[in-house]
């Protein structure tokens, strides 16, 4: 499932959640994002956390604030990444040229992204596992584009290039690790890649 962001009131994840949970969601997010503890970029697939009550919402927000929630993504990027693994530590803030975009800025907020190569492909793409320490808006997309490896299909940070003709960037929130906000139990949640993402990977030739 891809997430539809602001300006798309119908067919959103929130609509689906409300249909299932009725009135049992945390009210902290207000009417627009009831129960939503953290967000995914528009047209990014995968996992996110939804709280069913305020107590759980507050506890989860604290874990995220304290960087106790481990978020792992899968990204297909343009270009052959040379390093097997690396860390990007570049501050991110609102772009001065386009207020709808984010950018690496000296006076921005700290943003730390770790990545590891899963596979390289002859067609000029690399599949990455990405773990973020911070949760800045568009962080993964901005960081990877900044070092010359934009996420495939990203119309905002990839100069509009979309060779696969897909809707949305090939970025997937694969795994979440955190403590249950009520019981304290350690949880590990995983979501498989969407079919279109997996089909594209299957169509590529490994180096």
Q: Which pLDDT does position 7 carry in this prediction?
A: 44
Residue 28 confidence (pLDDT) above 70: no
Residue 31 confidence (pLDDT) above 50: no
pLDDT bin (cut points 50, 70, 90) of residue 35 is low
| Residue 98 annotated to the active site | no
Residue 15 confidence (pLDDT) above 70: no
Phi-psi region of 202 (alpha: psi -120 to 50; beta: other; left: phi over 0): alpha
What span, in angstroms and rounded, lies between the C-alpha atoms of 117 and 17?
A: 34
Q: Which pLDDT does position 93 carry in this prediction?
A: 96
Residue 70 confidence (pLDDT) above 90: yes
Q: Which pLDDT does position 72 carry in this prediction?
A: 97
DSSP letter assigned to residue 91: -
Q: Report yes or no: 74 and 130 within 8 Å, Cβ to Cβ.
A: yes
Most confident of 24-33, 37-46, 48-57, 92-101: 92-101
What span, in angstroms and rounded, lies between the C-alpha atoms of 146 and 141?
A: 8
Q: Which fold has domain 13-203?
A: Pseudouridine synthase (3.30.2350)
Q: Which two tokens stand for residue 64?
A: 């995220």
CB-based burial, 57-75: b 16+ in 10 Å, e otherwise: bebbbeebeeeebebbbbb
Domain boundaries, the chain: 13-203
Q: Which two tokens stand for residue 139?
A: 């962080």
pLDDT bin (cut points 50, 70, 90) of residue 118 is very high
Kind and range of the H or E run holding 74: strand 70-78
User: Where do we find the tokens 């990977």?
Assistant: 201
pLDDT bin (cut points 50, 70, 90) of residue 49 is confident
The mean pLDDT of 143-147, rounded to a whole number, is: 97
pLDDT above 90 covers a percentage of the chain that reads 63
What span, in angstroms and rounded, lies between the C-alpha atoms of 162 and 154?
A: 7
Q: Report yes or no: 102 and 94 within 8 Å, Cβ to Cβ.
A: yes
pLDDT bin (cut points 50, 70, 90) of residue 40 is confident
User: Which entry of 10, 23, 41, 107 is annotated as an active-site residue?
Assistant: 41
Beta pairing partners, 50: 36
Which is nearest to 170 in space by CA: 77, 103, 79, 87?
Answer: 77
Q: Which pLDDT does position 21 carry in this prediction?
A: 57
- Beta-carbon contacts of 147 under 8 Å, excluding residues fewer than 6 positions away, are 88
Q: Report yes or no: 66 and 46 within 8 Å, Cβ to Cβ.
A: no
Q: Which pLDDT does position 184 carry in this prediction?
A: 92
- Beta-carbon contacts of 39 under 8 Å, excluding residues fewer than 6 positions away, are 3, 33, 48
Which is nearest to 123 in space by CA: 205, 198, 202?
Answer: 205
């Amino acid at each position: 499932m891809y997430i539809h962001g602001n300006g798309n009131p119908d067919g959103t994840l929130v609509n689906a959640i409300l249909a299932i949970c009725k009135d049992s969601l945390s009210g902290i997010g207000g009417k627009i994002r009831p129960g939503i503890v953290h967000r995914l970029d528009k047209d990014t697939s995968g996992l996110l956390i939804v709280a069913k009550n305020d107590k759980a919402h507050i506890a989860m927000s604290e874990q995220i604030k304290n960087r106790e929630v481990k978020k792992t993504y899968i990204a297909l990027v343009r270009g052959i990444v040379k390093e097997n693994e690396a860390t990007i530590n570049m501050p991110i803030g609102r772009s001065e040229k386009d207020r709808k975009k984010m950018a690496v800025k000296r006076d921005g907020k700290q943003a730390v992204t770790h990545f590891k190569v899963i596979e390289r492909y002859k067609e000029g793409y690399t599949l990455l596992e990405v773990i973020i320490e911070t949760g800045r808006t568009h962080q993964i997309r901005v960081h990877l584009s900044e070092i010359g490896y934009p996420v495939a299909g990203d119309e905002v940070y990839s100069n509009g290039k979309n060779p696969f003709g897909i809707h949305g960037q090939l970025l997937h929130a694969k795994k979440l690790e955190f403590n249950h906000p009520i019981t304290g139990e350690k949880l590990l949640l995983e979501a498989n890649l969407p079919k279109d993402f997996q089909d594209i990977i299957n169509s590529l030739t490994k180096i």
